Amino acid sequence: MSDQPTPSDRDREAVLESLEHHTELPQTRLSGALEGFVRGVGNAVSWLWVVLVVVIVVNVTMRYVFGEGRIEFEELQWHLYAVGFLIGLSYCIQNDSHIRIDILHERFRLRTQAWIELFGIVFFLIPFAVIVLIYSPAFISYSWSVSEVSDAPGGLPYRWAVKSFMFIGFALVLIAGVARLLRVWSLLFGGAPPGRSGAGG
C-alpha cells in the first residue's frame, strides 16, 4: 500500500492548517442546531443581568438612602446570580469562552488541542452533566414536597424554583457538550458520529 496521503486526507490537513483556534472548529448541521438553541436560551436569559442591576440599585438605595434593608432583595440578588450562572455555563461552552490553562493549551497544535477537547468532553463534561441530571430531580422534588422557603425572616418562598435551574442549566450544558463533541469529531475524523444530520455551513 502507498504511504501517500489520499485526497481526503490532504483536504482534512488543509482544513486543520487553516484553523487556528477551537472557535473555528468545523460545524455540522446537528451541532449548529444544538448550539443555536443554547445560544438562543443564553441570549434570552442574558436580560436577567439587567434585572439584577436594577435590583441591586434599588436595594442599595433603600439601604443607604432610606435606611431600610430588605432581605427579599438580598435573596433575589443571589437567586438571579444562580440562574444566570447556571444558564451561562452552557453559553460559555457553546461560545468557547470558558477558562482554559492558556499558557499550555495555546502552545499545542490544533489537532492536539482537539484530542484534549475530545478527552475532556467524553470523560469529564458529559459524565458530570449526566450525574447532575440524574440526582438533581430528587433534590428539587424534596424542596417542592416540603414547600421549602428561606430560613431568613421575610425571605423568599418557592426555593424549589431556583433549585430547578440546576437541572435546566446542566441539561443545556449536556446539549452544548454534545454539540462541541460533534464539532471536534468532525475535525479529527472528517465526520460526526452516528446521528449526524449532515454538514452545516
What confidence tens digit (pLDDT) does each residue in 114-172 have?
A: 898 899 999 999 999 999 999 999 999 999 999 999 888 878 899 999 999 999 999 99
3 in Cβ contact with 137 (< 8 Å): no
- What pLDDT is recorded for position 195? 43
For residue 199, name the pLDDT band (cuts at 50, 70, 90): very low
Q: Is 26 helix (H, G, I), strand (E, B) or coil?
A: coil
For residue 102, name the pLDDT band (cuts at 50, 70, 90): low
| Phi-psi sector, 154: left (phi>0), alpha (psi -120 to 50), beta | left
Nearest to residue 90, comparing CAs of 56, 52, 55, 133?
Answer: 133
For residue 71, name the pLDDT band (cuts at 50, 70, 90): confident
- What pLDDT is recorded for position 113? 85
Query: Read out DSSP for 116-168?
Result: HHHHHIIIIIHHHHHHHHHHHHHHHHHHHHTT---SSTT--S-HHHHHHHHHH
- Where are the chain's structural domains? 26-98+108-189
